[in-house]
Amino acid sequence: MATLTLNNVKKSFGKTDVIHGVSIDVEDGEFIVIVGPSGCGKSTLLRMVAGLETITDGEVQIGGRRVNEEEPMARDIAMVFQNYALYPHMSVFDNMAYGLKIAKVPRSEIEQRVAQAAKLLQLEPYLQRKPRELSGGQRQRVAMGRAIVRKPAVFLFDEPLSNLDAKLRVQMRLEIRALQRELGVTSLYVTHDQVEAMTMADRMIVMNGGVADQIGKPLEVYANPATEFVAGFIGSPPTNFITGDLLGRSSEIKLGVRPEHMRLAETGAMQARATYCEALGAETLVHLICEDGTQVTVRQDAAASFPEEGSLVGLEWDARHEMRFDASGRRC
């Protein structure tokens, strides 16, 4: 186990800058999720920590030791990929033990470590099976077991659940988080799924175009987004954005109001036409469109009445829940 420090880390491919200086101090045992849309630089940042991408500028430290020039094997990290990367001709035991064999760990210690990891991951009945005989979730556990037996200072996860179905993703994210807490290993976890970020992270880094737009605890980021991008990306359904001129205010200022903070009314700060209502059981999402084409979503309790499609309704909200963003997209 170890601390991890990124100090103004940058990455360029030729003249193209893709990571514009990311800094964070990760505490020993902390679980950090790097989240953002495709192409934002999150996987590149992870690969720089792993040593799979060179660092153009800045510094990466693991346990207080600069590792910029070290090979991946020397960094004391273990990485779990989205495609599992298992050897198809090897048994589960041999897949988990392979890295230890290469490192010339004694056979008795290999068997002990694999047995411990298999018990932890509920893989004991499958140690002699080949990967093709396993489910997707079991294969992901094997990939995690291969990382665990190495007893690394830092775990790196690169979208490990993206190949699983929705139900299994929920189960596996709970298992990964529980496992990380039990092992206490410092971890970086990359995902494009903001639900994974919200439910798994101690803190998260929200990436936008190679920039860390915001770093913080999930609920703090949700409640107080620093930028229009963060407000729109974190939260489902996303934040409603309303231009000032719709409300008779400065057109330079854009208002953000989350769907749960809006409500339908006969009259209100503005009017919109209902286009579709999604009854989801415990709640209903009412989708509306304003006269200028702005789309708005209202989240309400399922027991509340909802408008007929095509009807004109008022919208209102408590000003305390308004988020204001300037022309640059920064919170103001």
For domain 4-232, which CATH number applies: 3.40.50.720, 3.40.50.300, 3.50.50.60, 3.40.1170.20? Answer: 3.40.50.300
pLDDT at 47: 96
Residues 280, 283: Cα–Cα separation, whole Å: 5
Report whether pLDDT(28) > 90.
Answer: yes
* Strand partners of residue 288: 274, 296
Query: Radius of gyration of the chain from Cα atoms?
Result: 24
pLDDT at 253: 87
**Domain ranges (residues) in the chain:** 4-232, 237-325
pLDDT digits (tens, 9 = 90+) for 56-103: 999 999 999 999 999 998 999 999 988 878 999 999 999 999 999 998
Provide the CATH topology of domain 237-325.
OB fold (Dihydrolipoamide Acetyltransferase, E2P) (2.40.50)
Instruction: Give the pair of three-digit tokens for residue 124.
Output: 């004991």
pLDDT at 248: 66
pLDDT digits (tens, 9 = 90+) for 160-214: 888 888 888 898 899 899 989 999 999 999 999 999 999 999 999 999 999 999 9
Helix-helix angle 136-148:92-102, to 10 degrees: 20
> How buried is 126 (Cβ within 10 angstroms: 0-12 exposed, 13-18 middle, 19+ buried)?
buried
